[in-house]
Structure 1
Amino acid sequence: MVSKLMMVFVATDIVFALCGGLIMGFALMSEQNMRATPTKENVAQNLLLDQCPLTAAVVNSIFIFVTFLLSLPALFLPQNRGWLRAQGWLVVFCATFTLGMGLAVWAETLQTRKNLSVLWGRESPLVQSLLQQKFNCCGYFNATTPRFQVDDVCTNLLVAQNKGGCIGQFSSFANGYLDAIFTAAFGIVALDAVLLLCVAMVLKYRQEQERYRHIDEKNGMRGL
C-alpha cells in the first residue's frame, strides 16, 4: 500500500513539473507576442516583457523537466536513495535559478520611472504614439520632455499639455505587471521548498526502513 508520504511526494513532484511547463509556456508565448505587430493593446506589455529574462526562463524550465525525470527512478526503486539525493540537489539548483530570475524582475521595479524613461526614449515614434493612445497621455514626463507624438490623442500642443505626461500611468501599469511576474516566480520557489522537504522526508523514511531491515536480518541470523 502506498504511504501518505509518497502520495504527497508524487503530487508535489507533478505540480513541480507543471510549474516548469508554465514557465516554458510563458516564455515561449511572450517571445511570440513580442514578434507581433505592435498595437495599442500589446505595446506596453511587450516592452516590459523585453526586459524580462525569457531565455533564462526557458533554460530554467528545461532543468525543472530534467529534475522531474530524475525523480521517476526514485519512485520505481523504493529502496534506492541515490536518485532522491540527485533530485534534491537539482531542486535546490532550480529554486536558486528561479529565485534569481524573480529577484532580477523585482529589481526592475525599484527604479521603474528611470528605466521606463530610457525605454521610452529609445523607442520609435510609432511605439511612443501607441503608448500615448493606450494611457491617454502625451510625452513621457510632459508634453515637451520628451516632445509628444502627434496622433488622435495628442492632436496639438494645447491638448497635450492638458493631458499631461505618461509617467504616472505607464509606471503604475509596469509595476503591476512586473509584480505579478516576480510574485509568481517566488511562489514557484516556495513550491520547490515544499518538494525539497518531501524529498528529505522520503530519504529519512527509506533510511529508517533500511535500518530496520538490517536489524531483522541480524535477528534472523541469530535465530538460526
Structure 2
Amino acid sequence: MVNKIVLTYLAADFVFVATGGLIMGFSLISESLIRATPTIGNVAQDLLLGECPLTAGVVNAVFIFVTFVIGLPALVLPNNRGWLRAQGWAVVLCGTFTLILGLVIWFDTLATRSNLSSIWGQTPPLDQSLLQEKFNCCGYLDSQSPPFIQDGTCPNALIAAQKQGCVQPFSDFANSYLDLIFTSAFGIVGIDVVMLLSVVVMIKHRQELERYRHIDEKNYGGI
C-alpha cells in the first residue's frame, strides 16, 4: 500500500511537471502571437512579450521535463536514493532558472518608461497608430515628442495637442501585464521549493526504511 509520503511526492512531482507545460505553452503561444498581425487588442501585449525571455522560457521548460524524467527511476526502484538526489539537484537548477527569469522581467518593470521609450522608437508607424487608438493618446510623451501618427484618433495637430501622450497609459498597462508574468514565475519557484522538500522527505523516508531493514536483519540473524 502506497503511504502518504509517497503520495505527497507524486502529487508534487505532477504539479511540478505541469509548471513546465505552463511555461512551455506560454512561451510558444507568446512567440506565435508576436508573429501574428497586430490589432488594437493585441498590439500592446505583443510588443511587451517581444521583450520577454521567451526562448529561455522554452529551455527552462525542457529542464523541468528532464527533471521529471530523472525522478521516474526512483519510483520503479523503491529503495534507491541516488535518483532522488539527482532529481533534487535538478529541481534546484530549475527553480534558480525560473527565479532568474522572473527577476529579469521584474527589473524591466523598474525602468518601464525608459524601456517603453526604446520600444516606441522601434515600433512601426502602423503599430504606433494602433497604440494611439488603444489608449486614446497622441505621440509618446505628447503629440510632438515624438510627433504623433495621423490617424482616426489623432486626425490633426489641434486634436492631438488636446490629448495626453501614450507614455502614461502604456506604462500602466505594461506594469500590470508584466507584474502578472513575473508574479507567476515566482509562484512557480514556490512550487519548486515544495517539490524539493518532497524529494528531501522521500530521501529521509527511504533512509529510515533502510535503517529499520538493517535492524530487522540483525535481529533475525541473532535468532
TM-score by length of 2: 0.99
- Which digits, 9 at most, give the CA deviation of each residue in 1:22-61, with x for residues without a partner? 1000000000111111111111111000000000000000
Map of 1:89-108 to 2, 5 A cutoff?
Answer: 89-108=89-108
RMSD over equivalenced CA pairs, Å: 0.6
Kindly state the Cα deviation for residue 212 of structure 1 after the two structures are TM-superposed: 0.9
Task: Provide the residue aligned with 1:35 in structure 2.
Answer: 35
- 1:188-216 residue CA offsets vs partner (Å, 9 max, x unmatched): 00000001001000100100110111111
1:13 counterpart letter in structure 2? D
Bigger shift: residues 119-128 or 13-22? 119-128
> Which residue does 1:176 correspond to in 2?
176
Paired residue for 1:191? 191
In structure 2, distance between residues paired with 1:164 and 1:21? 41
Paired residue type of 1:124? P
Percent identity at matched positions?
Answer: 61
Q: Distance in 1 between matches of 2:88 and 2:122?
A: 44
State how far apart, in whole Å, the 1-side matches of 2:145 and 2:25 are: 39
Match of 2:111 in 1: 111
Aligned to 1:127: 127
Q: Does 1:22 align with 2:56?
A: no
Give the aligned length.
223
Is it true that 1:47 corresponds to 2:47 in the alignment?
yes
Amino acid at match of 2:158: L
Q: Match of 1:101, as an amino acid?
A: L
Which structure 1 residue ranges, 4+ long, deviate > 2 Å from structure 2? none
Give the aligned partner of residue 202 of structure 2: 202
Measured in 2, the distance between the counterparts of 1:158 and 1:108 equals 35
Task: Give how far 1:222 is off.
Answer: 1.2
Which structure 2 residue ranges, 5 or more long, are not aligned?
Answer: none
Please, what TM-score do these two structures have when normalized by structure 1? 0.98
- CA deviations on 1:127-179 (whole Å, 9 max, x unpaired) are 11111011110001000001000000001111111111011100000000000
Q: Secondary structure of 2:144's match?
A: coil
| Unpaired stretches in structure 1, ≥5 consecutive residues | none
Once residues 209 and 65 of structure 2 are traced to their aligned partners in structure 1, the CA distance between those partners, rounded to angstroms, is 29
Secondary structure in structure 2 of the residue aligned to 1:148: coil
Q: Name the amino acid aligned to 1:5.
A: I
Report the Cα offset of residue 220 of structure 1: 1.1
Structure 1 residue 219: Cα displacement: 1.2
SS at match of 2:210: helix
SS of alignment partner, residue 17 of structure 2: helix
Amino acid paired to 1:134: K
Displacement of 1:4 after TM fit? Answer: 0.8
